[in-house]
Amino acid sequence: MKIAVSATGNSMDSQMDQRFGRAASFIIVQTETMEFEALDNNASASAGGAGISAAQMIADKDVKAVITGNVGPNAMNVLKAASIEIYKGLNATVKENVEQYNKGTLEKIQTTVPSHFGMGLKS
């Protein structure tokens, strides 16, 4: 299955990014094989609508789930419409998060953080 992880860098050893819309990048991972593809998040520096754009990008990759820290209300709407499940990641690498996902230990996120929550954070 294909899933996405918000990341601070572009490898499996990068830390997960706590931010969704303003994550530095997304790692798209095949959970069975651990094959991955890194996507720069062009929305990370956009003036507005970062979460919408990031959600669009991973929806276009046809992922079934995303592992991240916090999701805002607009991004949540897009992810829900795309039937992408959202999991609360650990403060760890992309690889460790995917391993935990495979074990089924990650919790699903149902609630959002307020708009612009990730704008004051530096990874």
Partner 1 sequence: MKIAVLSGKGGTGKTTVAASLAVALSNSQYIDCDVEEPNGALFIRPEINETIPVNVLVPKVDEAKCDGCGACAKACRFNALAVVKKKVLLFPAVCHHCGACAIACPQKAITEAQREIGVVEADKDGRFLQGRLNIGEPITIPIIHKLKQCMRKDAINILDCSPGASCTVVQTIDGCDYCILVTEPTPFGLHDLKIAVALVRKMSIPFGVVLNKAMDEDQSIQTYCMQEKIPVLMEIPFLREIAENYSKGFLPVQMDAEWGNQFMQMFSRINGGEAL
Q: Judged by CB under 8 A, which of 31, 77, 102, 123 binds partner 1?
A: 77
Q: Which amino acid is at 80?
A: K
**Is residue 71 a contact point for partner 1 (CB under 8 A)?**
no
Q: Is residue 100 at the binding interface for partner 1, with CB under 8 A as the rule?
A: no
Q: What is the CA radius of gyration of the chain?
A: 13
Q: Give the whole-angstrom CA distance, residue 78 versus residue 58.
A: 10
Q: Which of 8, 10, 38, 52 binds partner 1 (CB under 8 A)?
A: 52
Which residue of 83, 104, 107, 108 would you call a contact of partner 1, by CB under 8 A? Answer: 83
CA 82, CA 65: separation in Å to the nearest integer?
Answer: 10
78 binds partner 1 (CB under 8 A): yes
**Torsion angle, alpha carbons of 60, 33, 107, 121, to 10:** -60
Residue whose CB is less far from partner 1, 4 or 78 = 78
Separation of alpha carbons 55 and 68, rounded Å = 12
Residue 50 within binding range of partner 1, rule CB under 8 A: yes
Residues near partner 1 (CB under 8 A): 43, 46-50, 52-53, 55-56, 59-60, 74, 77-78, 81-83
